[in-house]
Amino acid sequence: MEERGAAAARGGGRRTVTQMLVVGIIASALGIALGIAIDWFPEQGSTQADDIDTLWDVLVIASVPFFVLVSVVVLFAVRDFRVRPGEEHLDGPPIHGSTRLEVIWTTIPAVILVGLCTYAWIVLTDIEEAPAQGPERQVIVTGEQFTWTFEYREGGKTFKTSQLYVPQGESVQFKVRSKDVIHDFWVPDWRMKIDAVPGITTDFRVTPTLMGRHEIVCAELCGIGHAFMRQTATVVTPDDFRAWVAKQTAPKGSGAAAGGDGENQPAEVDGKTLFTEGNTAGATACGACHALSDAGTTATTGPDLDAVLKGKSVEEIKRDIVDPGAEVANGFAPGIMPSNYDELLSEQEVDGLATYLSEVTK
C-alpha cells in the first residue's frame, strides 16, 4: 500500500516537472522576445551607445530564464504544497537539506554572475579606451545643488559655461566633480553616466555622433531641486565648435559673452518669457521652481514670489537673483537656488527680469 503511494507520487512528481519545464520554456521565450522587442532607450547618440545596448540585451536574455525559473517553482509549489482544509496542524516530514543541491544552486549562479560581470567589464573598458591618436579634449564637469558647470581648456584659454557644447565625432573625456553632495552626470542619448562624488574626480569618455541637443540629467537624488538639475548637451560640427569656443574666449564687452546678443541687437528683454522659459545660455526657467500668478506657474521648490517679492524694489530683486544666499526666505534652506545666475544671465536680462518681477508683485 505504502509503496504504491510512493510510486504514484514519483509519477506525479515527474509529470509536474515536465509541466514546469514546458511552462518555463514558453514563459522564458516570451519574456526574452518581449525584452528584446521593447525599445528601452532613446536614439543612439555616441559611438559607445551600440555596445551598451548590446550589453543590455545580453543581460536581459540571461536574466529572464532565472526570473521565470524562480517564479515557476514558487507558483507550482503554491499549487501542489498549499495547506488544504484539515491540514492546518500538520507538519511536513523532517528534512535535513541536501548538500549536493546547495552546492549546485550556489555554483551555477556564481559562475554565470562572474561571466556576466567579466563581459560587462570588458565592454566598459573597451568603449572607454582613449583614442589611438591625437590629443583628446577634456571637459571638467562640476555638479552642485542644483546645476552643472563645464570648464574647458581650449587653445591655452580656460573658460566656464553652463552650456555643454561638444564637437561631433571627436572623443571627449569628462572629468566629473561635485562641490557638495553626490550627483550623477548622465546623458541618456550617449548611454554614459557617472557619479559626481565630493572629494574625488571620476571620468568617462564619449564620442558623440548624433548632432543636436541632448538632455543632461542628474541621476542621483541630491536634494529638493534634483528633478530640475537638467541641462543640455549640444553636439555641433567641429567648425561650429571652434566658432563657439572663439565666442566664449573673446574678451568681455565685445558682445559675444554668454547670454549676450551681440552689440547690434536691441537690449529689449521680455521678463515674462525669460521667467517661464529661461535662456539659451543655460539659465533654467525661474517658473520651474517658483510660483508666480502673473506667469501662471505654481512650483513650490522655491518661495512663492507673489508673497516674498511683494513691495521689493527692482534693486532688491536683482540682488535676490544674482546672490540668492544673501537673504533666504523663511522655511527654505540656503543653497537651493543656484548661485550662478549672474553668469547665466546678461546684465540686461537681470534688469528685465527684476523689472518684470517688481511690476507683477507690487
**Interface ranges with ligand CUA (CB under 6 A):** 143, 146, 183, 218, 220-222, 226, 229
Q: How far is the CB of 251 from ligand CUA (least distance, A)?
A: 33
Amino acid found at 236: V
Handedness of CA 27, 32, 37, 40 (dihedral sign): positive
Please identify, using beta-carbon distances, which residue of 120 and 181 lies nearer to ligand CUA: 181
Pairing of strands 137-144, 164-167: unpaired
Q: How far is the CB of 112 from ligand CUA (least distance, A)?
A: 33
- For the CA atoms of the chain, what is the radius of gyration? 29
Kindly report the backbone phi and psi dihedral angles of residue 206, in degrees, each rounded to the nearest multiple of 5, phi listed first: -150, 145
Q: How far is the CB of 218 from ligand CUA (least distance, A)?
A: 3
Which residues on adjacent β-strands are paired with residue 186?
A: 193, 217
Q: Assess contact for 64 and 37: CB atoms under 8 A.
A: no
Torsion angle of the four alpha carbons 50, 51, 54, 56, in this order, in degrees rounded to the nearest 10? -110
CA distance 344 to 259: 6
Alpha helix positions (H), 250-326: 271-277, 305-308, 314-322
Q: How far is the CB of 290 from ligand CUA (least distance, A)?
A: 19
Q: Assess contact for 265 and 254: CB atoms under 8 A.
A: no
Q: How far is the CB of 67 from ligand CUA (least distance, A)?
A: 30
Q: How far is the CB of 160 from ligand CUA (least distance, A)?
A: 18
Please identify, using beta-carbon distances, which residue of 143 and 260 lies nearer to ligand CUA: 143
Please identify, using beta-carbon distances, which residue of 198 and 238 lies nearer to ligand CUA: 198
Q: How far is the CB of 141 from ligand CUA (least distance, A)?
A: 12
Among 141, 324, 320, 294, smallest CA distance to 225 is for 324
Q: How far apart are the first and last CA of the chain?
A: 96
Please identify, using beta-carbon distances, which residue of 28 and 178 lies nearer to ligand CUA: 178
Helix (H, G, I), strand (E, B) or coil at 326: coil
Q: How far is the CB of 221 from ligand CUA (least distance, A)?
A: 6
Q: How far is the CB of 146 from ligand CUA (least distance, A)?
A: 6
Q: Assess contact for 230 and 237: CB atoms under 8 A.
A: no
Three cell numbers, residue 338: 543656484
Please identify, using beta-carbon distances, which residue of 143 and 302 lies nearer to ligand CUA: 143
CB-based burial label for 254 (10 Å; 0-12, 13-18, 19+)? exposed
Amino acid found at 297: T
